[in-house]
Amino acid sequence: MKFNKWTLGLAAVGAVSMASVVRADDAPKLSQVQTALSNTIISGYVSASANWQLTPGNANVPESPAGNIPLQSGKANGFNLDVVKLSISKAEDESPWASGYEADLLFGPDAVNYDLATGSNGKSSNPSDFGILQAYVTLRTPVGNGIDWKIGQFNTVIGYESFDSASNPNYTRSWAWAVEPTTHTGVLASYTVNSALSFNAGVANTLSGGINTRNNYNTSNGSPWHKTVLGSATFTAPSSWGWASGSAFYAGAVYGFAGGQEGTGGSQGGNQGNYYLGATLNSPWKDVTFGAAFDYVQNLGGTTTPSPAGPLHADDYIFGLYNTIKTTDKLSFNTRGEFWEIDAKSGASQGSDEGISLTETVEYDLWANVTSRLEFRYDKVIESDYASAIGYVLPTGAYVDYAGSYGIYANVVYKF
């Protein structure tokens, strides 16, 4: 803090005190800070879990489907801290030129390089127990009903599940979540037409995760401005639909650089396309809901190079069905079934791998602010035409030595 020479001179002879000068200097600044913080919300959660793999043996879990389930690597047969999330945000008010922000910070094993852009879900070989899930500024422009903008790092616009496990029907993530984009650095516009219809559209640096990541594929051609485009639409059933009112239908797509390289078999030069359809459906029974999701991933990873096959073009098709039965205010049963197929081509070699996954989750929320769940999961490769000397191909493109796995999981999440 700086003071002019007259203030310092008065303080030296005791005419004024430095404490009063400091308070006078800080008063308007503190008022501005208090105004800015008055609507700030701090929230988050702590997630812990236990993982018990029934088959195969512990030494082989990393090479089984269970060892490749997203965010479960290294957690087999033990107790785990998953992640701590701290969210600091200020929502937009109702004014035409409203503004706000959100920052979601991650701490713990699930945060390890989540925001870096290498591998599935932004994983990298340079670990850190700190990550930024989202950090963006929100701005509103008074056009029509108002366009709301997110500028910075934000979650993707497609997918049935999210990073926050307590917001999902099941604790472990689906294979569809494993091959979808996670976060983007860019600009996203949202527009609500009416209570039934809304849209998102945006542009980002890359399809794969990574704060400030750039498309580094073939930038030597003098045109380095290669970006990712994304968009989605949501329709919510109106009250006139009776018991189906409130059901929601989603469609979206993300296309852009995924970190791959140019190869054979119809390569898109490092680009990947994700196309999504989903729905959450109410039923005539108010405590029973259904969900459905379809993901088509074109050119997974923007082409990869598995040894010994060479450049590989792979397309994924993943179908998911969900069901929730809420028997009491505290007890619910959540079921997820998935069927996946991956079509791969490398030179003259091509084939198709198929598999299924079944997850059953019992949730009993006995304690306030706590989500507590017990889960059984079964994964099975049911056919593999593209088997190589090192195993079978999962939706993520990973090779495994074991065709099936059974696991039991427990999870508790405290939300604050």
Shared domain for 76 and 26, answered yes or no, is: no
Block residue for tokens 């051609």: 221
Domain hosting residue 282, numbered range: 45-415
| Alpha carbons 230 and 156: distance in angstroms, whole number | 8
Shared domain for 230 and 134, answered yes or no, is: yes
Shared domain for 213 and 234, answered yes or no, is: yes
The per-residue pLDDT for 351 is: 80
The per-residue pLDDT for 121 is: 38
The per-residue pLDDT for 256 is: 92
The per-residue pLDDT for 211 is: 87
The per-residue pLDDT for 109 is: 92
Shared domain for 173 and 71, answered yes or no, is: yes
Q: Residues 193-216: pLDDT tens digits?
A: 999 999 999 999 999 888 888 887
Shared domain for 87 and 130, answered yes or no, is: yes
Shared domain for 34 and 50, answered yes or no, is: no
Shared domain for 50 and 181, answered yes or no, is: yes
CATH of the domain at 221: 2.40.160.10
Instruction: For 215, list phi and psi in degrees, rounded to 5.
Output: -75, 105
Burial of 114 by CB count in 10 Å (0-12 exposed, 13-18 middle, 19+ buried)?
buried
Q: Which of 264, 355, 351, 275 is nearest to 313 (CA)?
A: 264
Shared domain for 178 and 222, answered yes or no, is: yes
Cα–Cα separations (whole angstroms), residue 159 to 103, 141, 333:
21, 27, 21
As a three-state string, the secondary structure of 91-139 is CCCCCCCCEEEEEEEEECHHHCCCCCCCCHHHCCCCCCCEEEEEEEEEE
Q: What is the DSSP string of 263-285?
A: -TTT--TTEEEEEEEEEEEE-SS
Shared domain for 111 and 154, answered yes or no, is: yes
Shared domain for 235 and 322, answered yes or no, is: yes
Q: Which of 161, 180, 158 is nearest to 291 (CA)?
A: 161
**pLDDT by position in tens, the chain (length 416):** 544 444 444 344 444 443 444 444 444 444 555 556 678 999 999 999 999 999 877 677 878 899 899 999 889 999 999 999 999 999 999 999 999 999 999 999 998 866 654 333 334 444 678 889 999 999 999 999 999 999 999 999 999 999 999 999 999 999 999 999 999 999 999 999 999 999 999 999 999 888 888 887 665 555 667 899 999 999 999 999 999 999 999 999 999 988 776 544 445 668 899 999 999 999 999 999 999 999 999 988 887 655 455 557 789 999 999 999 999 999 999 999 999 999 887 766 778 889 999 999 999 999 999 999 999 999 999 887 765 545 778 998 888 887 899 999 999 999 99
- Tokens read off for 62: 């990393």
Domain count, the chain: 2
Shared domain for 16 and 110, answered yes or no, is: no
Shared domain for 104 and 55, answered yes or no, is: yes
The per-residue pLDDT for 155 is: 96
